[in-house]
Amino acid sequence: MRIFKVVTIFMAVLILSAGIAYATPSTQIWIPSTDIQPFKKFHFGVDTYIKTQSQNGVTEPTVTNIGLTVGILPFEKVQMEVGIDYRDIGGDHTYPLYFNAKLGVPEDALFKGSPAFAIGGFDFGTKDNMTDYNIVYGLVAKTIGKLGRFSAGYYTGNDDLLKDINGNDDEHGVLLSWDRTMSEISDKLWAAIDYQGGENGYGALSFGVAWKFAPNVGVIFGYDIYNESTYKPTATIQLDIDF
């Protein structure tokens, strides 16, 4: 726990030292990606998660995340983004702010053919033992020709909140993804599959496609199947605008 607290403090310092923005980290469908917003580029996102099944006749509330990510480092080979989420859960606005940050290097930055690397954190909430999930992760990604980009990593978080349905600690797991621009059909079409390990509510298999309506505007249509079967699947629509 001591190491975890040190990492948590470190990520918080990174965020606060960069100024405040409202944002989600750059992601695939569900998990973070190694992508990072360029210097001074803002990314506005609205992500909606809608339950597609009810449980005992009751449907869980829709979750909406609104944010704006910004790149803060003026370097080509080392990049960083920061932000804050504003999260609405079925009209509940109690402690809605969640901080995040990501630092990394793109592919080919270290040497020709080198993979991308990223470390970051998200869902740093403002209320102890209620919203401070404090998820910290590391990722590596590599594009392999026409096969697309493959990513792998690991995450850990606050074991006081990240538990399975039986109340056992379940605060860590793998991160895996594949994504690709479907240029055979259109350069505007993108597809992805990702997976987050664990049965803590974050663990899920997600897949979807995105369409670029303009060079700076895209929409993702996806579906999330949670590792713990008592959490019903969600359909997700994610609007992304760069400016």
pLDDT in tens, 191-201: 999 999 999 99
CA–CA distances in Å: residue 4 to residues 7, 8, 12, 118, 164 = 5, 6, 12, 18, 20
* Res 119: pLDDT: 98
**Rounded mean pLDDT of 39-49?**
96
* Strands 148-156 and 172-181, bridge-based pairing: antiparallel
Give residue 189's Cα distance to chain centre.
20
In DSSP terms, 74 is beta-bridged to none
Residue 219: how many other CB atoms lie within 10 Å: 15
| Whole-number Å distance between alpha carbons of 15 and 13 | 5
Give 144-150 contacts, CB < 8 A, sequence gap 24+.
Answer: 147/180, 148/178, 148/179, 148/180, 149/177, 149/178, 149/179, 149/180, 150/177, 150/178
Nearest alpha carbon to residue 35 among 173, 179, 144: 179
Domains of the chain, start order:
2-242 (2.40.160.40)
Half-sphere exposure of 39 (CA within 13 A, CB side): 7
DSSP string for residues in 9-67? HHHHHHHHHT--------BSSSSB-S--PPBT-EEEEEEEEEE-S-BTTBPPPPEEEEE
Whole-angstrom distance between the N-terminal and C-terminal Cα of the chain? 39
Residue 4: how many other CB atoms lie within 10 Å: 15
Whether pLDDT at 66 is above 90: yes
Residue 92: how many other CB atoms lie within 10 Å: 11
- SS3 string, 76-115, reads CCCEEEEEEEEEEECCECCCCEEEEEEEEECCCCCCCCCC
pLDDT tens string 122-175: 999 999 999 999 999 999 999 999 999 999 999 999 999 999 999 999 999 999
Please tell me whether residue 171 adopts helix, strand or coil conformation: coil
* Res 58: pLDDT: 85
Residue 242 identity (one-letter amino acid):
D
More confident residue, 60 or 202: 202
* Res 24: pLDDT: 52
| Whole-number Å distance between alpha carbons of 231 and 59 | 11
Mean pLDDT of the chain: 90
